[in-house]
Amino acid sequence: MNNPVKSILGSSNTARGMVVDVECHLANSLPNIVIVGFASKSVDEAKERIRGALASSNIRLPRKRITINLAPADIPKEGSSFDLAIAASIMCSSNMVASNTGKTIVIGELGLDGSVRAVRGIIGKILSAKKLGYAAFIIPKDNIEQASLIPNVKLCPVKDLSQLFTALQSPQITFSTTRPLPISQGNTPKSNDAIYFEDVVGQERAKRALLIAAAGHHNILLNGPPGTGKSMLAKALRSIMPPMSTEEILEVTHLHSLANKDFERIVDERPVRTPHHTSSQISIIGGSSSPRPGEISLSHHGILFFDEFPEFSRQVVEALRQPLEDKKISVARAKDSIDFPADFILVATANPCPCGNYNTKLECTCLPNHILRYQKRISGPVFDRIDLYVDVDEVDHSQLLRDKKSQATSENLQKIVKATREVQFKRSDKLNSRLSGNELKAQKRLTDDARQLFNQAAKQMNLSARGYMRTLRVANTIADLNREKKVGISEISEALQYRKKPVEF
């Protein structure tokens, strides 16, 4: 048995990856391949894929009993990413090639025709191995685009088993050192299908609230009758969000590669996820028998849009409590427990009542108890975690067909959002919504007059401690938008206007 070929047991949490030694032992017995080491069915099926791949590549499989051990043997192994490492281990042990893999991690799935297919979660696997001190990787060629996002690692992409065989025959494997791909940090080109702020008629108050939400990364709920533009406003929010940084692109691409079939693509635009109100709790939160990220994690660094928020099941709505507070979700299953990141802006819309006409010019046909029951579908603790609550008014029909566009264009607002975020990062290295209570106190931005007004209003409005601190965070963002170093009465007054008011009849 030669030195083992190393692969990586990937994890959704890149801090929990583990290097797997793929050991091969050849014995003079009936020809067979046996895989041991707590291997799942998908790993055990690798022996048939390897037989076909070696035959298609004109590489002779040793006519011996081949025992493959995946160490450590007490850790469950699953997935098809061990195929290439097992094939390399067989070739090294049978002296077909030089055993020169050393501290090289081998990752890839084999096809019966000898092709090397892309694997899911390549970014997480490489990052996990990099944290453990490994810098050289043999990976599928189709994964090279995503893998190239990771700086300072050496990659050897292979498209088929023959190419791996040739690479291992040479005394030294040829690697190329990665540099981060050039990511455009300018304004996103306009798309005909996208919605922009200038496309929405009126609704200046809602646009102001969305500007605050984008600048400080605050959650927002738009409440109003049907047809007033709530969904348009929510969809236009992405157009004023700044482009993602390379680190954010790396995180988002990794999460999407774990959940989607198209796991070779780079996700370089902020994600906007719009699940239907009939979606299950697992699809929103994440999970299944082998935990995978749900909609809240797929909207990481982006927007999670819940249209008709009260129509979602109570289980789904209540499950948002932890991610809205902690910016992550802990998924615990019998096999594993994983923390997925979930740092998103929640944008929700709601009608004022089941018929949608309460407090409008049209007649509301709902009974008072029906209106209360409808609005209580969203519990107080969930409402408490929403920073901005905005009523969206009806639009005058005479304004709808006017050629004059809104002065608040997405391009101009995006520049304001970028500049405001830079101020926050320069001051505390994080956005206002992520500031802890102690960090808010340490900044001492609240003036004495504003503090007195704030305390009086909080008492009258019965704000909880959480609601109090969230209102202060919103006031900080408003001050940054106004280019004010201190949080004064005007900023506190505006922030208080965005708290939910009780229903009146």
Residue 204 pLDDT grade (very low, low, confident, very high; cuts 50, 70, 90): confident
Give the CATH number of the domain where residue 300 resides: 3.40.50.300
Residue 505 pLDDT grade (very low, low, confident, very high; cuts 50, 70, 90): very low
State the total domains in the chain: 2
Last residue of a domain, one of 148, 177, 206: 177
Give the CATH number of the domain where residue 82 resides: 3.30.230.10
Whether 265 and 322 map to the same domain: the answer is yes
- The confidence score (pLDDT) of residue 186 equals 46
Picking from 463, 389, 412, the residue whose alpha carbon sits closest to that of residue 213 is 389
Mean pLDDT (the chain, rounded): 88
Whether 136 and 237 map to the same domain: the answer is no
User: Per DSSP, what are the bridge partners of residue 20?
Assistant: 7
User: Residue 489: inside a domain, yes or no?
Assistant: no
Whether 53 and 124 map to the same domain: the answer is yes
Distance (Å) of CA 232 to CA 203, 237, 431: 11, 9, 26
- The confidence score (pLDDT) of residue 336 equals 67
Full residue range of the structural domain in which residue 203 is found: 197-403
Last residue of a domain, one of 403, 435, 456: 403
pLDDT per position as a tens digit, 155-192: 999 999 999 999 998 878 888 887 655 555 445 556 65
User: Residue 497: inside a domain, yes or no?
Assistant: no
Picking from 101, 147, 138, 89, the residue whose alpha carbon sits closest to that of residue 120 is 147
Whether 46 and 12 map to the same domain: the answer is yes
pLDDT per position as a tens digit, 32-81: 999 999 998 989 999 999 999 999 999 999 999 999 999 999 888 888 99
Whether 282 and 349 map to the same domain: the answer is yes
Q: Which of 55-69, 252-266, 365-379, 398-412 has the lowest mean pLDDT?
A: 398-412
Whether 246 and 147 map to the same domain: the answer is no
Whether 28 and 144 map to the same domain: the answer is yes
Pick 99 or 218 by higher pLDDT. 218
Whether 206 and 127 map to the same domain: the answer is no
Note the pTM of the prediction, 2 decimals.
Answer: 0.87
Which letter, b or e, does each residue of 247-260 get, where b requires 16 or more Cβ atoms within 10 Å of its Cβ?
ebbbbbbbbbbbbe
Whether 150 and 203 map to the same domain: the answer is no
Whether 278 and 140 map to the same domain: the answer is no
Three-state SS sequence of 177-218: ECCCCCCCCCCCCCCCCCCCHHHCCCCHHHHHHHHHHHHHCC
Residue 1 pLDDT grade (very low, low, confident, very high; cuts 50, 70, 90): low
Determine the Cα–Cα distance for residues 348 and 386; give it in Å rounded to an integer: 9
User: Residue 246: inside a domain, yes or no?
Assistant: yes
- The confidence score (pLDDT) of residue 228 equals 84
Determine the Cα–Cα distance for residues 158 and 139; give it in Å rounded to an integer: 6
Residue 344 pLDDT grade (very low, low, confident, very high; cuts 50, 70, 90): very high
Q: Does residue 12 surpass a pLDDT of 60?
A: no
User: Residue 479: inside a domain, yes or no?
Assistant: no
Last residue of a domain, one of 376, 403, 430: 403
Whether 38 and 145 map to the same domain: the answer is yes
Record the tokens describing residue 465, joined without a space: 């401690």
User: Residue 101: inside a domain, yes or no?
Assistant: yes
CB 118 within 8 A of CB 142: yes
Whether 101 and 234 map to the same domain: the answer is no
- The confidence score (pLDDT) of residue 23 equals 93
Q: Which of 6-15, 40-49, 406-415, 431-440 has the lowest mean pLDDT?
A: 6-15
Section 195-210 average pLDDT: 88
User: Residue 183: inside a domain, yes or no?
Assistant: no
Distance (Å) of CA 260 to CA 168, 193, 252, 254, 449: 32, 23, 12, 10, 52
User: Residue 382: inside a domain, yes or no?
Assistant: yes
User: Residue 342: inside a domain, yes or no?
Assistant: yes
Distance (Å) of CA 180 to CA 14, 123, 244, 267: 19, 13, 14, 14
